[in-house]
Amino acid sequence: MQYRHLGVSGLRVSALGFGAGTFAGTGPLFSAWGDTGEREARRLVDIALAAGINFFDTADVYSDGASECVLGAALKGRRDQVVLSTKTGLRLGDGVNDAGASRHRLLRAVDASLRRLGTDYIDLLQLHAFDARTPLEETLATLDGLVRAGKVRYLGVSNFSGWQLMKALAIADRRGHARPVAHQAYYSLIGRDYEWELMPLGLDQGVDAVVWSPLGWGRLTGRIRRGQPPPPGSRLHATEAFAPPVEVERLYRVTDALDAVAEETGRPVPQVALNWLLQRPGVATVLVGARNAQQLEQNLGAADWSLSPAQMARLDAASSVPTPYPYYPYWNGMFAERNPPPVPPHREPTP
């Protein structure tokens, strides 16, 4: 397993992380993801730790807090071995203040997450979404206070736009607050919007990607192919309405290329899709989830090898889409040779 620094920080995280969205599994979305209980969760955590994974991620909204409870129970007795990450900000309850990133909500939410996780500190706390109704000055001052109090050690965001993240960074810098070092974002071979603005912003500002849904909401598992309906048992039947959209022909173009590269490498399709992400700039960790040990062990196999430059180029070409204004390649090309995008040395993976 490789370990990479998380943004401009001294914290090192495994190149593959474990996403606990499948734990507990209640409600129409999360029950389709998985319903792993404490006993099986401990087994999955055992497998992940043995493979070198040290980054475990959940959120208070996953199964209304039950995912945090199950993950905390599975980590009992080995809390100090892991980097524990959770998220808050989405609605959790029916009260008028049960959503967002106000001081009132954040202080209550963090204390509740600590209780459910069975710990007295959170290694990485991420805002699950941008709260346009709360001044960022209030949110960041509250988060800084949580860091100073020792309840939180590092900060991140999730699902922010470029201007939202840059505004947060500017306020944190101006006021001397702890600044975000991670951005948990959707990124996959069929979801490359992250590259247009968020990737160069992250490289410039030292905010690394924590990638969620790296298999494109289950579409890049090797079970979805041209001319075939989703197989029986696919979670897409129940969750497609929640999934990031993708144009059908583009999906098949990518799955065709994945099949070809998988045949060349002798690796399963999911490993190829994950390995492509592991070689992208500014990616600190790629979250893999699993409903059972077999799925987890297969996904873990993505970390011990590398696609060739030719194979990366083939997947790049198959998954590319026209770049929108103002990111159109013409403008970038005018300055590409003189001013290449900065890649800080701390991004280099270490064994």
Indicate which residues carry an active-site annotation: 62
Q: Which residues contact 210 (CB under 8 A, 6 or more apart)?
A: 6, 17, 57, 85, 126, 156, 158, 182, 183, 184, 185, 284, 285, 287
> In this structure, how many other beta carbons lie within 10 angstroms of the beta carbon of residue 95?
9
Q: What is the number of H-type helices and E-type strands within the chain?
A: 13, 10
Which of helix, strand or coil describes residue 304?
coil
How far is the C-alpha of 301 from the C-alpha of 215, rounded, in Å? Answer: 14
CA distances from 345 to 142, 155, 166, 175, 348 (A): 31, 21, 22, 27, 6
The string of DSSP codes covering 98-164 is SSS--HHHHHHHHHHHHHHHT-S-EEEEEESS--TTS-HHHHHHHHHHHHHTTSEEEEEEES--HHH
Q: What angle do CA 181, 184, 185 make, to 5 degrees?
A: 130
> If you ran DSSP here, which 8-state letter would residue 10 be given?
S
